[in-house]
Amino acid sequence: MQKLTKDNVLKIMKNYQNDPQQLIAVLLDIQAASGKNYVDQKWADLASSVLNVPLSKIYDVLTFYAMFSTTPRGEFVIEICKSTPCHFTRAEEVVKWFETAAGIKMGETTADGKISLLHTSCVGACDIGPAVKIGDHVFGSLTEEKVKTLVKNCMEGKAEELPSLCQN
Ligand code: FES
């Protein structure tokens, strides 16, 4: 993953016509392009001046929505649903499978910066719970084997192979 530059960030904002109404979309794209799933303070400052949005409002957005982070995370953020329907379908067991496969605990990031494990609330896939979300993809009907495969693909940076493992 290439390092995010000022030109990249300016281009992202230009893709949205530097429209302040598109702030969330802009911040999501900056986060996705960061390679570490976060919005660095310097890009928040830049967005503030280019979009003409107060920095405080940008941080309101970054701290209100759980999908954003202002500190570096793994290239792949694996979000394990902890809402009640999934909780009753072996969510704790699934957490252990991910922790074992990735070699880290919930809330941690692997030393190589590839994977972070986090909890999330319902991702709308209760019928195939326990469910996890990785980027834009939701995975359900998890088994230990499937978890190992997901983690392996993330560790090897094979994002393009993740969709084929989706159940919905
Ligand atoms: S409760 Fe887990 S996906 Fe809905």
Give tens-digit pLDDT for 63-122.
Answer: 999 889 999 999 999 999 988 888 777 778 899 999 999 999 999 999 999 999 999 989
What pLDDT is recorded for position 168?
Answer: 45
What pLDDT is recorded for position 1?
Answer: 58
| 82: CB partners within 8 A, 6+ apart | 91, 119, 120, 121
Q: How far apart are CA 113 and CA 73, in angstroms?
A: 7
Q: How far apart are CA 36 and CA 73, in angstroms?
A: 5
Helix boundaries (H) for the chain: 6-15, 23-33, 41-51, 55-64, 84-87, 91-102, 144-155
Domains and CATH numbers, the chain: 6-64 (no CATH), 76-165 (3.40.30.10)
Say how many Å lie between the CA of residue 85 and the centre of ligand 1. Answer: 6
The reply to whether ligand 1 has any atom less than 6 angstroms from the CB of 125 is yes
Q: Is the pLDDT of residue 3 over 90?
A: no
The reply to whether ligand 1 has any atom less than 6 angstroms from the CB of 126 is yes
- Among 101, 30, 31, 105, which Cα is nearest to 69's? 31
Q: How far apart are CA 117 and CA 99, in angstroms?
A: 8
Say how many Å lie between the CA of residue 126 and the centre of ligand 1. Answer: 4
Strand pairing report for 137-139 and 115-120? unpaired
The reply to whether ligand 1 has any atom less than 6 angstroms from the CB of 122 is yes
pTM: 0.80
Say how many Å lie between the CA of residue 2 and the centre of ligand 1. Answer: 34
Say how many Å lie between the CA of residue 47 and the centre of ligand 1. Answer: 34
What backbone torsions phi and psi does residue 137 show, to the nearest 5 degrees?
A: -100, 140
Q: How far apart are CA 77 and CA 79, in angstroms?
A: 6
Atom of ligand 1 at shortest range from CA of 85: 1
pLDDT in tens, 14-52: 999 999 999 999 999 999 999 899 999 999 999 999 999
